[in-house]
Amino acid sequence: MKTKLGLIYGGKSAEHNVSLRTALAVINALDMNKFDIHPIYINENGEWIRGNALDAPVKEVSTLKLQDTGNTVSPVSLNAELFPAQTEQQDKIDVIFPLLHGPNGEDGTVQGLLELLNIPYVGNGVLASAAGMDKVVMKNLFAQAGLAQANYVSYIKSDYEKSPEDAYKQVEEALGYPCFVKPANLGSSVGINKCKDRQSLEQAFREAFEFDRKVIIEEGIVGREIEIAVIGNDDPSCSVVGEIAPKKEFYDYKAKYEDGDTDLIIPADITEAEYETIKEMAIKSFKAIDGSGLVRADFFLTEDGKALINEVNTMPGFTPVSMFPLLWKETGIEYPQLIEKLVDLALQRFDQKQQIKHTF
Ligand SMILES: Nc1ncnc2c1ncn2[C@@H]1O[C@H](COP(=O)(O)OP(=O)(O)O)[C@@H](O)[C@H]1O
Ligand SMILES: [Mg+2]
């Protein structure tokens, strides 16, 4: 019996094209003797288009941009329209892998939809996804778990607007310069600025509030950027660590997606003790957000060997040349096996959930 695997990709998001590249790689890595692949494309307008099951590998990203064949559906009618056969056995999708990043994909919304449809899916659930997307909630959870991290403050727009001057003063007193101003709920370094003085701070606040009603401001940390990959459910395991060596002021959007000239050093050259600390912190962070499936945990490692957690990504970059798969490759799990493992973990979590009583 082949597993019918649905891939949701694309999305109304800045990471649309990254998602397409991921989908292409995942499709071509999957063993078609084991999996029937069902593409589900979200176009730039946010419309969902379900394609026919694939009978051969796909060569071009453009093939994945499914054309509207009258199969365009709104997410609210997904169960009836996107999964018309979900009640009949023959075309029932067994498990879905959402290959989406950022808002409306990585933030719990798609996960909530799949929960309602009662379809197993790869990766983090609603709570972990939402908590991982909101940098303020995430850092509050880390603080509660006793994880070392940069000091931070946060503002919602309406409070800030009552007295911007007070906000700037508070930031200067609590954090000083340099500091980083970020929209709370974005990824890919969009809307993030490093500030060195009052003028740049004011500008950074204004810019961040264009992207979100909530911003976080953090003290600037001087340190290497070290990342580690985690997979599992209740008993997660860690990969080796990698290092990002940005050639710019910081790891911004351009460095991530356009220049492609950021060096990934795998494995990173750190001491055994530093590795043990980072591993332990990564597991703690996974548990702090109630993670499942996968996360990539990102750290700063200061000159004196102190590890500070920066963030967890609940759907990290997942092309074969992204940090997460490369870390597993170095650890001994190749890309196709990694995907299969994640699918297994999704099915295990789903089975476990089915045991839960809903009446008493
Ligand atoms: N507190 C900080 N100190 C130093 N550098 C930072 C800090 N916060 C972010 N950066 C830099 O900005 C980059 C993007 O910030 P991050 O919080 O990881 O946002 P995103 O979720 O968009 O990846 C980081 O990879 C790092 O290079
Ligand atoms: Mg980051």
Instruction: Choose among 24, 9, 61: nearest CA to 321.
Output: 24
Write out the H or E segment, with its range, that includes residue 179.
Answer: strand 179-183
Peptide bond into 267 cis (omega under 30): yes
Q: What is the pLDDT of residue 261?
A: 60
Q: What is the pLDDT of residue 257?
A: 63
Q: Which amino acid type is present at position 116?
A: L
Distance CA 314, CA 335 (A): 18
- Would strands 95-98 and 3-10 be described as parallel, antiparallel, or unpaired? parallel
DSSP-derived 3-state class of residue 65: coil
Distance CA 225, CA 286 (A): 18
By alpha-carbon position, which residue is closest to atom 22 of ligand 1? 189
Q: Is the CB of 180 under 6 A from ligand 1?
A: yes
Instruction: State the closest ligand 1 atom to the C-alpha of 223, by its place in the atom list counted from 1.
Output: 4
The token pair that represents 251 in the structure block:
């790891």
Distance CA 60, CA 192 (A): 33
Main-chain phi, psi angles of 216, to 5 degrees? -120, 140
Does residue 297 contact residue 271 with C-beta atoms inside 8 Å? no
By alpha-carbon position, which residue is closest to atom 16 of ligand 1? 189
Quote the ligand 2 centre to 12 CA distance (angstroms): 20
Question: Which ligand has the shortest distance to the CA of 188?
Answer: 1
Strand partners, 41: 9, 49
Q: Is the CB of 251 under 6 A from ligand 1?
A: yes
Residue 262 DSSP one-character state: P
The token pair that represents 180 in the structure block:
């980083």
Instruction: Choose among 219, 117, 202, 193: nearest CA to 167.
Output: 202
Does residue 44 contact residue 12 with C-beta atoms inside 8 Å? yes
Q: Is the CB of 250 under 6 A from ligand 1?
A: yes
3-state secondary structure 194-257: EECCHHHHHHHHHHHHHHCCEEEEEECCCCEEEEEEEEECCCCEEEEEEEEECCCCCCCHHHHH
Residue 259 DSSP one-character state: I
Distance CA 147, CA 297 (A): 12
Instruction: Choose among 212, 208, 201: nearest CA to 167.
Output: 201
Quote the ligand 1 centre to 96 CA distance (angstroms): 30
Inter-residue long-range contacts of 65-69, CB under 8 Å, 24+ positions, other chains counted: 65/10, 65/20, 65/41, 66/39, 66/41, 68/43
Set out the domains of the chain in order of their start, with CATH numbers: 3-121 (3.40.50.20), 151-219 (3.30.1490.20), 222-351 (3.30.470.20)
Q: What is the pLDDT of residue 50?
A: 87
Quote the ligand 1 centre to 355 CA distance (angstroms): 40
Q: What is the pLDDT of residue 115?
A: 93
Instruction: State the closest ligand 1 atom to the C-alpha of 190, by its place in the atom list counted from 1.
Output: 22
Q: Is the CB of 225 under 6 A from ligand 1?
A: yes
Q: What is the pLDDT of residue 108?
A: 94
Q: What is the pLDDT of residue 1?
A: 87
Measured over the CA atoms of residue 58, residue 59, residue 62 and residue 67, the dihedral's sign is negative
Quote the ligand 2 centre to 296 CA distance (angstroms): 10
Instruction: State the closest ligand 1 atom to the C-alpha of 313, by its place in the atom list counted from 1.
Output: 21
Q: What is the pLDDT of residue 246?
A: 73
The full DSSP string for 42-59 is E-TTS-EEE-PPPSS---
Does residue 151 contact residue 172 with C-beta atoms inside 8 Å? no
Residue 249: CB partners within 8 Å, gap ≥ 6?
A: 194
The token pair that represents 174 in the structure block:
């609590």
Look at the block and give the residue holding tokens 């509207």.
68
DSSP-derived 3-state class of residue 149: strand
What is the mean pLDDT for each group of 10 consecutive residues in the chain (360 residues)? Answer: 94 89 96 95 90 85 79 55 52 91 88 92 98 97 98 97 96 97 83 95 96 96 97 98 82 65 90 98 98 98 96 95 97 98 98 86
Q: Is the CB of 302 under 6 A from ligand 1?
A: no
Quote the ligand 2 centre to 92 CA distance (angstroms): 36
